[in-house]
A and B are shown apart, each in its own frame.
Chain A
Amino acid sequence: MLTAKHKVGLIFFPAFDWCITPDHPEREERLLYTRDQILEEGLLDVEGIEEYRPFVAEDKDILRAHVCVPSVAARVTESHRIAVGGTMLAADLVLDKKVDRAFALLRPPGHHAMRIVHGSRGFCTVNNEAIMVEHIRHRLSPKTRIAIVDTDAHHADGTQDIFYNDPGILHISIHQDGRTLYPGTGDVQERGGPAAYGQTVNIPLPPGTGDEGLLYVMEKAVMPILADWEPDIIINAAGQDNHFTDPLTHMNVSARGYARLTDMLGPDIVVLEGGYSIEGGLPYVNVGILLALAGLDYSHVKEPVPQPTQPPQVMGQIERITETVMRAWATRDQVDRSRLFGEGEYFQRHRAIYYDTDNLLEEQRELIRLCPDCSGWRLIYSKASGYYSSLTSRGQIAAVVIPWLACPKCRAEAEDKYELIAKEGRCRQVFLQDVARDAFTNWRK
């Protein structure tokens, strides 16, 4: 019988009775073949791999990371709550030292879900990793340093949005170049907000990247950056759509490549994200990741179909991207932030966010208080409407965000602002998100 070198908690929740629509890639049988493969390989009999049942997350768990418009109940299904609960459980198992590492192998995914939630985008409604991160900080300390390494083929724009100005988080996203794939973002130049500049690290890879290229950036960029930043906890948002058989992307990574990545990274917690090659990719990738996490031999994991080789010109491009990323990392503290974010009281940005799954367009204006004493409170004005018709607009909302470790001045300003906007009555709904006090209130017209 096999014995794991690292004790692994597996939270497997395939949600066999849940889909976006029956023909949608995010459908009932997405993890069916993965289950079959894991069972047939006998992995659940391995000494040191223990399976756990997820719990159902409550509104408050979700509200630590999100502002759901108009409410959590209106936006999330029970399936989302279970995926969130399973991801939180993964963290609990590690924090309680019941296991060395945990793998939340579950759906629906979450990494495209941003702080403000009007609906679903990129098959995601709420962000499993982000909610888990806030759960960890809520349990341990807001000073816990957490690194998220997102290895999904799509840019983790939701996670990036949530931790964009968070000095406690290092967010690294490796993905297929946004110029060739949804959601289009994730350029090297997106490096974070005024209070966390440089801690958003984007590594866009050219289509065709295989094991060699992916492991190159892991070795030359991700691992040195992690060593430099010294996180307390490493989370891997393990999307599996870099696999060479994935129908939605154009990458050439194999199951063994994913296993080697996992082995190299040694994450505390792994959370499944995307990956829609449900027959030819996922069963093998998941077996590879599980074996690597447990410290077992994954060298015999192999897909039935041969892996295409990485096109020769790709390596040169990857080397240049890696160089750019590392230069940006090394010089992140030398950048003149006043040039990037201005010298006023607030930094302001405008964005249009498209919700492909629900076909909504959100217009957002965000103000971040440039505070010398903390990461600054934030105010987000947001309005979502049906993409083809402004008639279906749901009206403007506002969200006031008090970050972890906010200074007293920022806290007071934020609280005043919340009252004021509510009193003005121009917004349909006003939210106050206060993680430090674990208080999430809203005012409705």
Chain B
Amino acid sequence: MDIIGIDVGGTNTDAAFIRHGRVVGMAKVPTNHEDLIESTKQAMNEIMAYYATSGQVQLHLSTTLSTNAIIEGTGSPAAALGMPGPGVNLAALDLGFPFFPLGGYIDHRGREVAELNEGEVLAAAKEAKRAGAEALAIAGKFSHRNPVHEQRAGALVAASGLGFSNVTLGHRLSGRANFPRRVVTAYLNSRVASLQTHFCRIIENLLEMEKYRAIREVLILKADGGTMSLEESCQLPVETILSGPAASILGAQALSKHTQENAVIVDIGGTTTDIAVIVAGEPLYQRRGADIAGYRTLVPALFTRSIGLGGDSEVHVQVEEGEVRFRLGPRRAGTPAAMGGSRPTPTDAAVALEMARIGDRGRARECIKELAEPLGLSWRQAAQGIIEAFTGQLVEEVRAIYQRLAGIPLYTVSEILAPPDFHPRVMVGLGGPAQVFIPLAAKLMGLPWEILPFSEGANAIGAAAARPTAAITLHADTELEVLTIPEIGYHGRIDRALLFDRQRARQEALRQAASYAQRLGLPDHEDVYIVEEESFNVVRGFHTVGRIHSIRAQLRPRVRRIEVTEDIADGKA
């Protein structure tokens, strides 16, 4: 089957056409911020030129729709109802949206301590509606251990006839702890739900059209680098945030020769450089969830750090004790002088030194010279200084990332004695300036390097390379005889709890993950495995009365390997 990957990015919309695991065509159109659908359509039209005459096409779509809505504060006006229980005073927490605290609470074992006040739920929902909310989020503390309050409140609101366009329940979004993030995630989900639904309907209509007849299936990219169906994206639109950066990482993974190693991925653009971390062939995740526009969420997302350093960065000069030092970024200077700009940039330094063969070398040298002369330097010295500063700043950031990773908290003796090894074995570079800076940065870090064949469009290739992801969190408390799987809203009794040992818990988690993946219509749904596991005794007095098993199982995340035919790669297309 053919796959089209499209990434609607901030500036450009990239598209890639993949046939039998090879890139056969690429396209790029400028992104129209007012009309992302239009940009998507344009990219589809251009890339469909590579369609042969028959066969089915799968479309993988990564959009900034939700990301933009969240950053720009658009989407449906929404409010959140929360059951915070005692603890941190949420009133002191400026969530940035209307939040209605309600009575009733669940403890850390998932036991109901105080009942939900149904009158309060309805009154708050009415008040939210009156204040203009069109969508509603409902989230309780520890709802991932017991979702009954959220479910009951959701049912009450649904039956109330208040007519919210979306009601999001917190427990459906993640099996992980963190009540403030749960509230925020549910709120954002409810806010962008209508937008996403509208988007999905338009895409479905497009597929009815004759020219798109070959496109049989549309999959939407998520922040964790996986895909989901159009239908699911309407339920969990918040998961589509930050899919662009994830697509770039996937692109690098799909194209790199280093598939099983620890690697650092460095994507150098004009304004920013994005750094991602690969551990034993798998990208590292954000520890607690995606952060976006000041909101901290529970959305699973690939780790990426963006720094204000790129080919078009501003060049600053510091003179300390007669010594000239260059410092680059974080802002963009503009177009490099070599390409018609007026201020010197790192790209100009590279062009001047003939490390890059683009634009007008004479203009680049002239511009660097203007900067160099008052400092008593030759243009060559200044250009070399800028290149060194760029490399130094980049390496400093990469090292800082790994230093933080080397100190991540660990909670067992065995892990502290044998901590996980994140250290990179190779630096994988992409983006226009990568040719210049990656070999230098890698050398400074004592690493081998690889530069990927695409300076642009790796994000679209990554979108095409993405596969579905799905995960569940099983929490079984054999003393309370309760089993909870928040992602599917399951909260029920364990039969013969005494026999529910670790082995049974594992089997159950795998079975549930597989059936969840199957319900989502995912291929290879039997290929599930356990990613995290905990098992603790419950002791009363001096007797063990039960066990608590907490298991996270997921569909094995995969990335399609994608090869590049010579004529498509950089500079030859």
Q: B502 contacts the other chain (Cβ, under 8 Å)? A: no
B407 touches A53 (CB 8 A): yes
A18 touches B413 (CB 8 A): yes
A78 touches B88 (CB 8 A): no
Collect the chain A residues with CB atoms within 8 Å of residue B142's CB.
Answer: 40
Contact mask for chain A residues 1-42; partner B; CB cutoff 8 A; 1 contact, 0 none = 110000000001111111000110001110011011101111
A14 CA / B536 CA spacing, docked (Å): 13
Q: A82 contacts the other chain (Cβ, under 8 Å)? A: yes
A39 CA / B178 CA spacing, docked (Å): 5
A53 touches B416 (CB 8 A): yes
Kindly provide the distance from the CB of B78 to the nearest chain A CB, expressed in whole angstroms.
Answer: 19
A54 CA / B417 CA spacing, docked (Å): 11
B179 touches A27 (CB 8 A): no
Q: A437 contacts the other chain (Cβ, under 8 Å)? A: no
Q: A43 contacts the other chain (Cβ, under 8 Å)? A: yes
Contact mask for chain B residues 107-150; partner A; CB cutoff 8 A; 1 contact, 0 none = 11100010000000000000000000000000001100000000
Contact of B296 among A16, A41, A45, A297 (CB under 8 A): A45
Do A12 and B411 contact each other (CB < 8 Å), given the known contacts A2-B88, A44-B288, A45-B288? yes
Of A39, A52, A283, most B-chain CB atoms within 10 Å: A39
Collect the chain A residues with CB atoms within 8 Å of residue B176's CB.
Answer: 39
Do A23 and B409 contact each other (CB < 8 Å), given the known contacts A29-B536, A42-B178, A300-B88? no
Q: A226 contacts the other chain (Cβ, under 8 Å)? A: no
Q: A279 contacts the other chain (Cβ, under 8 Å)? A: yes
Contact of A36 among B86, B92, B108, B113 (CB under 8 A): B108
Interface size on A, residues (CB 8 A): 49
Contact mask for chain B residues 79-115; partner A; CB cutoff 8 A; 1 contact, 0 none = 0000000111100111000000000000111000100
Kindly provide the distance from the CB of B461 to the nearest chain A CB, expressed in whole angstroms.
Answer: 34
Of A33, A291, A304, most B-chain CB atoms within 10 Å: A304
A-binding segment of B56-64, B332-340, B518-526, B539-547: B539-547
Of B108, B109, B412, B544, most A-chain CB atoms within 10 Å: B108
Do A42 and B407 contact each other (CB < 8 Å), given the known contacts A2-B88, A23-B542, A37-B108? no
A304 CA / B141 CA spacing, docked (Å): 13
Q: B155 contacts the other chain (Cβ, under 8 Å)? A: no
Q: A56 contacts the other chain (Cβ, under 8 Å)? A: yes
Interface size on B, residues (CB 8 A): 42
Do A40 and B411 contact each other (CB < 8 Å), given the known contacts A23-B544, A27-B539, A45-B288? no
A54 CA / B178 CA spacing, docked (Å): 23
In chain B, what residue has the closest Cβ to A19? B537
In chain B, what residue has the closest Cβ to A255? B86
Q: A301 contacts the other chain (Cβ, under 8 Å)? A: yes
Collect the chain A residues with CB atoms within 8 Å of residue B109's CB.
Answer: 33, 279
A302 CA / B93 CA spacing, docked (Å): 18
B88 touches A43 (CB 8 A): yes
Collect the chain B residues with CB atoms within 8 Å of residue A299's CB.
Answer: 89
A16 CA / B537 CA spacing, docked (Å): 11
A36 touches B177 (CB 8 A): yes
A13 touches B411 (CB 8 A): yes
Contact mask for chain B residues 168-207; partner A; CB cutoff 8 A; 1 contact, 0 none = 0000000011111100000000000000000000000000
A42 touches B181 (CB 8 A): yes
Q: A287 contacts the other chain (Cβ, under 8 Å)? A: yes
A1 touches B87 (CB 8 A): no
Kindly provide the distance from the CB of A22 to the nearest chain B CB, expressed in whole angstroms.
Answer: 6
A40 CA / B89 CA spacing, docked (Å): 13
Contact of A2 among B86, B93, B177, B410 (CB under 8 A): B93
Kindly provide the distance from the CB of B290 to the nearest chain A CB, expressed in whole angstroms.
Answer: 13
Q: B534 contacts the other chain (Cβ, under 8 Å)? A: yes
Do A35 and B411 contact each other (CB < 8 Å), given the known contacts A27-B539, A28-B537? yes
Q: B408 contacts the other chain (Cβ, under 8 Å)? A: yes
Q: B414 contacts the other chain (Cβ, under 8 Å)? A: yes
Collect the chain B residues with CB atoms within 8 Å of residue A12's CB.
Answer: 409, 411
Collect the chain A residues with CB atoms within 8 Å of residue B541's CB.
Answer: 247
Contact mask for chain B residues 449-487; partner A; CB cutoff 8 A; 1 contact, 0 none = 000000000000000000000000000000000000000
Collect the chain A residues with CB atoms within 8 Å of residue B88's CB.
Answer: 2, 41-43, 287, 291, 296-297, 300
Collect the chain B residues with CB atoms within 8 Å of residue A40's CB.
Answer: 108, 141-142, 177-179
B89 touches A297 (CB 8 A): yes
In chain B, what residue has the closest Cβ to A39? B177
Do A1 and B141 contact each other (CB < 8 Å), given the known contacts A41-B88, A43-B88, A45-B180? no
Kindly provide the distance from the CB of B296 to the nearest chain A CB, expressed in whole angstroms.
Answer: 6
B181 touches A17 (CB 8 A): no
Give the top 3 A-B pairs by smallest Cβ distance, nearest first: A302-B86, A42-B180, A39-B177
Q: Which B residues contact A (CB, under 8 angstroms)?
A: 86-89, 92-94, 107-109, 113, 141-142, 176-181, 288, 294, 296, 407-414, 416-417, 534, 536-539, 541-544, 548
| Given A42-B296, A297-B89, 16 new contacts (CB under 8 A) | A15-B413, A16-B534, A17-B413, A18-B413, A22-B544, A23-B537, A28-B537, A36-B177, A41-B87, A41-B179, A42-B180, A44-B288, A45-B178, A82-B413, A300-B88, A301-B86
Q: What would be 30 A-B contacts, judged by CB atoms less than 8 Å apart?
A: A2-B88, A2-B92, A13-B409, A13-B411, A13-B416, A14-B411, A15-B411, A16-B411, A16-B536, A17-B412, A17-B414, A22-B537, A27-B537, A28-B537, A32-B536, A36-B108, A36-B177, A39-B177, A40-B108, A41-B179, A41-B180, A44-B288, A51-B409, A52-B409, A53-B416, A56-B416, A82-B413, A82-B416, A302-B87, A304-B107
